[in-house]
Structure 1
Amino acid sequence: MARHTYPCPLRWADMDAFGHVNNVVYLRYLEEARVDFIWRLAPGGGSDAFTGGVVVARHEISYLRPLVHRHAPVTIELWVSKIGAAYVTLDYEVKDEDAVYARASTTIVPYDLERGRPRRLTSEEEGFLAKYQENEPSGRDEQPEGAMAV
């Protein structure tokens, strides 16, 4: 299946006192990749898919290696690991050609703005998401560099 690839620029302000990307900044990187992915289907071609937006129900991140500032963007690969009637789980790898810096997962829920509540996925949305679905584990349980298994 296909993966969505997003080249994410690193900003100087993303760094923390230790000289690497702060853990909280990774959530923004994932959001940028997720929005870029979702809006590939939504407005533009007359589709009303995801027009109410989505809300995040859950995040999980495994930090594997420090990512330091550089001028080249980091690559975020995104794919769908699970599609439910009213939710989608997306998996990610934050990486470049030399290393995987983090693996993550986000569960999102489509939202109905007019009613102010979550809603079910439409068949158009499910069809789009299915093109990116992989059923293999993302490897989020991998130990960070230098970590000891207990």
Structure 2
Amino acid sequence: MKEIKPETFKETLPIQIRFSDIDALGHINNNVYFSYFDLGKTTYFETVKGKSDISWTDGLIVVAHIEVDFLSPVYYREGIVVDSKVTRLGDKSGIFLQQIRNVKNGEIKCRCKSVFVTYDAHTQASIPIPDTWRKIISEHEGLEEEKVLAE
């Protein structure tokens, strides 16, 4: 089993497991985890946005790469949350770290690292992360300037 180092997350979203999420073995189907991670991303951006007038659609976010470690199955009726944070911002991309965690015992069930790219749908090209996004995410996560600007 892969060694998972503990991480601190500021954003946590409780997940309601649906009947359709369960496979024949009685646990959550692996492809369903991706919808949980998407919910976590949506909630993350809404939380970080706060009361500002920042628009997350001025420069769309697309997932360019995703890697997942499935550590332990999640069963129906198990209380779980998805934890989310941005760990790095480059010029045109950033890295999300997310995990599915059991709320009773803290066991990490699954960990996901995804690279997102800011993208202009009109030109169909990547664009620099808007300065307002960079500032608000960096302040929220406490990212250092060197880490933020590193690509």
Same fold (TM over 0.5): yes
Match of 2:111 among 92, 95, 103: 103
Per the normalisation by structure 2, the TM-score is: 0.78
Q: Which residue of 1 aligns with 2:147?
A: none
8 Å contact from structure 2 (residues 63, 117) kept in 1: yes
8 Å contact from structure 2 (residues 63, 114) kept in 1: yes
SS at 2:63 equivalent: strand
Higher helix share: 2
Match of 1:63 among 44, 59, 70: 70
8 Å contact from structure 1 (residues 42, 50) kept in 2: no
Q: Which residue of 2 aligns with 1:35?
A: 42
1:81 paired with 2:87, answer yes
Q: Which residue of 2 aligns with 1:132?
A: 141
Q: Which residue of 2 aligns with 1:112?
A: 120
Give the alignment's Cα RMSD to 1 decimal: 2.3
8 Å contact from structure 1 (residues 50, 125) kept in 2: no
| Distance in 1 (alpha carbons) for counterparts of 2:46 and 2:134 | 14
Moved more, 36-45 or 102-111: 36-45
Pair 1:121–1:52, CA change in 2 (3 A): closer
Residues matched between the structures, number:
134
Match of 2:97 among 82, 91, 97: 91
Q: Tell me by how many angstroms 1:40 deviates.
A: 3.2
Runs in 1 of length 4+ with deviation above 6 angstroms?
none
Question: Percent identity among equivalent residues?
Answer: 20
